[in-house]
Structure 1
Amino acid sequence: MTETLGTATETDNSEHRRWISRGDLVSLLAASALLSAAVIAPMLGDPEWRINIFVLAPPLFGEYGPHFGFGTAAAVLIALAVIAYGPTLAVRMSWRLVVFTSMVTCLAWTFSLAMIDGWDRGFAGRLIRPDEYLAEVPGVSSIPAMLDEFSGRILDFQPDSWTTHVSGHPPGSLLTFVLLDRVGLSGGAWAASWVVLIGCSAAGALLITTARLSDEATARRIAPFVALTPGAVWMGVSADGYYMGVAAWGIALLAIAATTTGKRAVIAGVGSGLVLGFAIFLNYGLVLMGVVALAVLVIARTYRPVLCAVPAALAVVGIFAAFGFWWLDGYHLVVERYYQGIATRRPFSYWGWANFASALCAVGPAAAVGLGRALRPGRIRGREAVVLLSLAGLLAMIIADVSALSKAEVERIWLPFSVWLLVATALLPRPSQRFWLVGQAITALLINHLVWTYW
Structure 2
Amino acid sequence: MTRHPTAGRRRDLTVLAVEAALLAAAVAVGAVLNHRDAGLHADAAPLYATWRPHAGWGTLPAVLLAAGVVARGPHLARRLSWPRLLAAGWLATVAWTLSLALVDGWRAGLTERLTVQAEYLHEVPRVRDVPAMLAGFTERILDFRPDSWSTHTAGHPPGALLVFVGLDRIGLGGGAAAALACVLVGATVSVSVPVTLRALGAEPAARAVLPFLVLLPGAVWVGASADGIFAAVLAAGLALLARPGRWAPGVGGLLLGVALHLSYGLVLAGLLALTVLALRAADRVRALLTAGLGVAVVTAGFVGYGFWWLDGYHLVVRRYYQGWAADRPYAYWVWANLAALLLSAGPVAGPALARTLRPALAGARARLAALTRGPARTAALSPAGTAGPAVWLPLAAALTVAAADLSGLSKAEGERIWLPFAVWLLVAVARLPAGDRRWWLAGQAVTALAVNHLLWTVS
TM-score calculated relative to the size of structure 1: 0.93
1:412 corresponds to which of 411, 416, 419: 416
1:313 corresponds to which of 295, 300, 316: 295
Q: What is the identity, as a one-letter code, of the residue corresponding to 2:10?
A: R
Q: 1:141 and 1:46, CA in 2 relative to 1: closer, same or farther beyond 3 A?
A: closer
CA contact (8 A) 1:68 1:117 kept: yes
How far off is 1:12 after superposition?
A: 4.1
Corresponding residue of 1:188 = 175
Corresponding residue of 1:245 = 232
Equivalents in 2 of 1:367, 1:359: separation in Å? Answer: 9
Q: Deviations over 1:62-102 (max 9, x none)?
A: 10011000100000000000011001111111011111211
2:20 corresponds to which of 32, 47, 51: 32
Q: What is the identity, as a one-letter code, of the residue corresponding to 1:425?
A: V
Judge which range, 339-348 or 295-304, deviates more: 295-304
CA contact (8 A) 2:33 2:40 kept: no
Equivalents in 1 of 2:415, 2:90: separation in Å? Answer: 21
Q: What is the identity, as a one-letter code, of the residue corresponding to 2:229?
A: Y
Equivalents in 2 of 1:179, 1:420: separation in Å? Answer: 28
CA contact (8 A) 2:153 2:160 kept: yes
Corresponding residue of 2:379 = none
2:57 is aligned with 1:53: no
Q: What is the identity, as a one-letter code, of the residue corresponding to 2:12?
A: D
2:285 is aligned with 1:297: no
Corresponding residue of 1:41 = 29
Q: What is the identity, as a one-letter code, of the residue corresponding to 2:96?
A: W
1:371 corresponds to which of 342, 345, 353: 353
Q: Deviations over 1:327-355 (max 9, x none)?
A: 11111100000000010110000001111
How far off is 1:44 after superposition?
A: 3.7
Q: Deviations over 1:140-181 (max 9, x none)?
A: 111111101101000000000000010000000111111110
Corresponding residue of 1:157 = 144
2:84 is aligned with 1:97: yes
Corresponding residue of 1:21 = 9
Q: 1:19 and 1:239, CA in 2 relative to 1: closer, same or farther beyond 3 A?
A: farther
Q: Deviations over 1:358-394 (max 9, x none)?
A: 1110111122211111122546533321111001111
What does 1:377-388 correspond to in 2, within 5 Å? 378=361, 381=364, 382-388=386-392
Q: Report SS of the residue matched to 2:114.
A: helix
Corresponding residue of 1:434 = 438
Corresponding residue of 1:272 = 252
What does 1:225-264 correspond to in 2, within 5 Å? 225-256=212-243, 260=244
Judge which range, 216-225 or 333-342, deviates more: 216-225
How far off is 1:215 after superposition?
A: 2.2
CA contact (8 A) 2:140 2:147 kept: yes
2:104 corresponds to which of 117, 123, 142: 117
Q: Report SS of the residue matched to 1:452.
A: strand
Judge which range, 165-174 or 51-60, deviates more: 51-60
Equivalents in 2 of 1:243, 1:172: separation in Å? Answer: 10
1:421 corresponds to which of 410, 420, 425: 425
CA contact (8 A) 1:379 1:387 kept: no
How far off is 1:13 after superposition?
A: 7.7
How far off is 1:45 after superposition?
A: 4.4
Judge which range, 365-374 or 241-250, deviates more: 365-374
Equivalents in 1 of 2:362, 2:341: separation in Å? Answer: 23
2:308 is aligned with 1:326: yes
Equivalents in 2 of 1:214, 1:117: separation in Å? Answer: 41
CA contact (8 A) 2:401 2:418 kept: yes
2:336 is aligned with 1:354: yes
2:458 is aligned with 1:454: yes
Q: 1:46 and 1:68, CA in 2 relative to 1: closer, same or farther beyond 3 A?
A: closer
How far off is 1:34 after superposition?
A: 1.0
How far off is 1:54 after superposition?
A: 1.2
Equivalents in 2 of 1:250, 1:394: separation in Å? Answer: 19
Equivalents in 2 of 1:66, 1:245: separation in Å? Answer: 30
Instruction: Report how many residues are paired.
Output: 435
CA contact (8 A) 1:20 1:432 kept: no
Equivalents in 1 of 2:307, 2:33: separation in Å? Answer: 43
Q: Deviations over 1:167-223 (max 9, x none)?
A: 000000111111110110010010111111111101100001111223212211111
- Give unpaired runs (5+ residues) of structure 1: 1-10
Cα RMSD for the two superposed structures: 1.5
Q: 1:102 and 1:46, CA in 2 relative to 1: closer, same or farther beyond 3 A?
A: closer
Corresponding residue of 1:7 = none
Equivalents in 2 of 1:277, 1:47: separation in Å? Answer: 43
Equivalents in 2 of 1:97, 1:368: separation in Å? Answer: 30
How far off is 1:266 after superposition?
A: 2.0
Percent sequence identity over matched residues?
A: 49
Q: Report SS of the residue matched to 2:235.
A: helix
Equivalents in 1 of 2:416, 2:311: separation in Å? Answer: 25
Corresponding residue of 2:368 = none
Equivalents in 1 of 2:404, 2:209: separation in Å? Answer: 26
CA contact (8 A) 1:299 1:383 kept: no
How far off is 1:43 after superposition?
A: 3.1
